[in-house]
Structures are given as C-alpha cells and as structure tokens.
Amino acid sequence: MKTTPEVAELLHELMLRDLLASEVYHVQAVLLRDQGLLHLAEHFEGESLHERLHADWQLERLTFLEVPIDLSKRPGHVPMGTTAKEFIEASLKMELGVADKLGKLCEAATNVDEGTLTLAQRLLEETETDHIFWLEQQLTLIDQVGEAQYLAQMTHAAEPG
Ligand SMILES: [Fe+2]
Ligand SMILES: [Fe+2]
C-alpha cells in the first residue's frame, strides 16, 4: 500500500459515501419527477452524476495506492425524507458529513500523500462551494417565499440547450 493506513481508511470511506450519495440523489430525483417537480429532479440527477464522478476519482486513487476495495464496508441506511424540502435537508446533512470527513482526510494526507491531498482539496471545494451552497440556498428560498411558492417554481424542466 502506497499511503498511510489512516489516509487509506478515510479515502475508502469517502468513496463509499459518495457512491451511496450518488444512489440517494438518483432515487430522490426519480421521486421528485413523480411529484412533478421536474426542475428540482434535474438538479438532483445532476448531483447524482457528480457524486458518481467523485466516487470514480476516489476509486482510481485507491487502486493506484493499492488499497483494497471492500464493498462490505458500505454505510447502511441514510435518512432520505419523503418531501422535496426533506430531501434537501437530508442531502445537506449528508454533504456536511462528507465535508467534515474530507477535512480530516486533508489533515491526514498533508506532508504524507500529496496526490490524495490534492484530490481531497478539490472534492472539499466542490462539496462546500457547489453542493452545500446550493442546498443552503434552497432552504433560504423556502424560508423567504414559503414552501408552496418555492415548489411551484420547481415544476418546469430547464429548456434544452
Ligand atoms: Fe462528493
Ligand atoms: Fe456532494
């Protein structure tokens, strides 16, 4: 193994969390489509693809570092919610947990594994400035305009192109 056990464990755990996040976002997108919230569904589907990409980068790094992949360590149940607002709240909680772990990975990789540090910094930046920012923005909007008005604005899919 070409890294420390601590870095290996954190990176492996984060990869599994992102795989799960990808699945959760995808399931939420399907449910949002069913509720007619097409615009919101599109965003969640995009997040699902984004998390899948994150998991891929981490998988590639793990295999490069010769860390064995163990799917039996996949995290179990994560609360997902049933309404759009609950999806947003649950996703925010999930992303905050990931950001916290990524911070720990950055610390663990500093001065010992530059490649993993660079990857973790990129993932942390995207998690904070893109995923978490968007989710917090939606909750602020719901507070400001009310849930019904917010949802009414989320029924149209974006125009193609
Ligand atoms: Fe991610
Ligand atoms: Fe994310």
In tens, the pLDDT along 14-25 reads: 999 999 999 999
Tell me what the mean pLDDT of segment 70-84 comes to.
Answer: 91
Which CATH code fits 5-152?
Answer: 1.20.1260.10
Q: How far apart are CA 151 and CA 88, in angstroms?
A: 12
Please count the helices (runs of H) and the strands (runs of E) in the chain. 6, 0
51 C-alpha to ligand 2 centroid (Å): 6
Q: How far apart are CA 107 and CA 100, in angstroms?
A: 11
Query: Where do the domains of the chain lie?
Result: 5-152
Tell me what the mean pLDDT of segment 26-35 comes to.
Answer: 97
98 C-alpha to ligand 2 centroid (Å): 7
Q: How far apart are CA 62 and CA 15, in angstroms?
A: 9
| pLDDT at 75 exceeding the cut of 70 | yes
Q: Which helix (H) or strand (E) holds 21?
A: helix 5-34
Predicted confidence at residue 156, as pLDDT, reads: 87
* Residue range 41-52, pLDDT digits in tens: 999 999 999 999
Predicted confidence at residue 159, as pLDDT, reads: 64
Ligand nearest 128 Cα, by number? 2
Ligand nearest 25 Cα, by number? 2
Ligand nearest 14 Cα, by number? 1
Ligand nearest 17 Cα, by number? 1
Predicted confidence at residue 160, as pLDDT, reads: 63
Tell me what the mean pLDDT of segment 20-34 comes to.
Answer: 97
Ligand nearest 123 Cα, by number? 1
Ligand nearest 47 Cα, by number? 2
99 C-alpha to ligand 2 centroid (Å): 8
47 C-alpha to ligand 2 centroid (Å): 7
Question: pTM for the full model?
Answer: 0.94
* Residue range 98-143, pLDDT digits in tens: 999 999 999 999 999 999 999 999 999 999 999 999 999 999 999 9
95 C-alpha to ligand 2 centroid (Å): 5
| pLDDT at 161 exceeding the cut of 60 | no
102 C-alpha to ligand 1 centroid (Å): 9
